[in-house]
């Protein structure tokens, strides 16, 4: 059984560019959620996908978008990057339903210059 | 709306001393509570969780937390810490909701530093 993996590990972009981050879920998990963790802060919920449909979204603008694929892997896309988008982006997979443990990947460190 | 407050941003303690990391939450509905640990340059790992039943929950590495509904708290404790416990600790809450829509709301984190 493999855990949650994310790619790339690190990424440097400039303002205005677009970025795609990838996440592979833990085997058997049908739910993927994404979190943004700014330096020195707790993670903030971006959105969640359950069986390829977005079913929850935090206070992030529409330029943050995502996809979940039939194999339950997922992408996070961010358009028109801003300096404040610099953060650690964490992906978590779980089974759907309240109380199921979310297993986090190691994260992608995005730096926007 | 849910919120989580971790009352201490940093907690320095000596090795083998006891420690308590404080967490309070606010929510208008019943909640599930979690403690996650983050080691440097890593993602989050679940330490323990409270869903229902016994209000005292334990982890495999000696941590425990007690759910106190009247005080809306879920403090994390360990009777004797080790150097390897040095990490950032996050308290989180989720609400039972519609299928799949159980986001985690995290506190700001507490940096636990163990000194020899």
pLDDT digits (tens, 9 = 90+) for A67-83: 999 988 999 999 999 99
Q: Judge whether B36 is closer than 8 Å to chain A, CB to CB.
A: yes
Question: In chain B, what percentage of residues exceed pLDDT 70?
Answer: 94
Given a cut of 60, whether residue B56 has pLDDT beyond it is yes
Average pLDDT over residues A7-13: 96
Mean per-residue pLDDT of chain A:
93
Residue B100 structure tokens: 């799949």
**What three-state secondary structure class fits B84?**
helix
Residue contact A45–B103, C-beta within 8 A: yes
Residues of A with CB under 8 A from a CB of B: 4, 31, 33, 35, 40-45, 48, 50-51, 55-56, 58, 90, 92, 96-107
Confidence at residue B41, expressed as pLDDT on a 0 to 100 scale: 80
Contact B90, A45 (CB under 8 A): no
Nearest CA-CA distance, residue B101 and chain A, Å: 5
Average pLDDT over residues B24-43: 87
Burial of B108 (0-12, 13-18, 19+ CB in 10 A): middle
Tell me which residue of A42, A25, A41, A39 sits closest to A102, measured CA to CA. A25
Confidence at residue B96, expressed as pLDDT on a 0 to 100 scale: 60
Size of interface A-B (CB pairs under 8 A): 76
Average pLDDT over residues A21-30: 92
Q: How many whole angstroms separate alpha carbon A13 and alpha carbon B103?
A: 28
Candidate from A33-37, B12-16, B39-43, B70-74 with smallest mean pLDDT: B39-43
Residues B60-107: tens digit of each pLDDT: 889 999 999 899 999 999 999 999 999 999 999 987 665 445 789 999
Residues A31-45: tens digit of each pLDDT: 999 999 999 899 999
Q: How many whole angstroms separate alpha carbon B90 and alpha carbon B58?
A: 16
Question: Residue B101: CA atoms inside 13 Å, Cβ hemisphere, count?
Answer: 9
Query: How are the residues of chain B apportioned to helix, strand and coil, as percentages rounded to the nearest 5?
Result: 5, 55, 45
Confidence at residue B52, expressed as pLDDT on a 0 to 100 scale: 83
Per the listing, tokens 């519609």 go with B98
Q: Judge whether B20 is closer than 8 Å to chain A, CB to CB.
A: no
Residue contact B107–A42, C-beta within 8 A: yes
Strand pairing class (B87-95; B23-26): unpaired
Given a cut of 70, whether residue A1 has pLDDT beyond it is no
Tell me which residue of A49, A72, A35, A65 sits closest to B43, measured CA to CA. A35
Confidence at residue A6, expressed as pLDDT on a 0 to 100 scale: 96
Residue contact A50–B90, C-beta within 8 A: no
What phi and psi values does residue A99 have, to the nearest 5 degrees? 90, -10
Peptide bond into A8 cis (omega under 30): yes
Work out the angle at residue B8's Cα, subtended by the Cα atoms of residues B39 and A88, and round it to the nearest 5 degrees.
Answer: 40
Torsion of CA B73, B79, B85, B86, to 10 degrees: 70
Confidence at residue B10, expressed as pLDDT on a 0 to 100 scale: 96
Question: In chain B, what percentage of residues exceed pLDDT 90?
Answer: 70
């Amino acid at each position: 059984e493999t855990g949650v993996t994310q790619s790339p590990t690190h990424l440097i972009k400039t303002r205005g560019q677009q970025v795609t981050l990838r996440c592979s879920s833990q085997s058997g998990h049908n739910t993927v959620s994404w979190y943004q963790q700014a330096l020195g802060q707790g993670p903030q919920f971006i959105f969640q996908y359950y069986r390829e449909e977005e079913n929850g979204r935090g206070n992030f603008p529409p330029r943050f978008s995502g996809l979940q694929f039939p194999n339950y892997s997922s992408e996070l896309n961010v358009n028109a990057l801003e300096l404040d988008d610099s953060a650690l982006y964490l992906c978590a997979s779980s089974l759907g339903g309240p109380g199921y443990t979310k297993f986090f990947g190691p994260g992608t460190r995005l730096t926007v210059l | 709306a849910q919120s989580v407050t971790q009352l201490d941003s940093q907690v320095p303690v000596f090795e083998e001393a006891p420690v308590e990391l404080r967490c309070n939450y606010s929510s208008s509905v019943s909640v599930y509570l979690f403690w996650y640990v983050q080691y440097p340059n890593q993602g989050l790992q679940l330490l323990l969780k409270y869903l229902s039943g016994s209000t005292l929950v334990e982890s495999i590495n000696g941590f425990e937390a007690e759910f106190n509904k009247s005080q809306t708290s879920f403090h994390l404790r360990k009777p004797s810490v080790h150097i390897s416990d040095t990490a950032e600790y996050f308290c989180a809450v989720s609400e039972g909701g519609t299928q799949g829509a159980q986001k985690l709301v995290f506190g700001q984190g507490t940096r636990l530093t163990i000194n020899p």
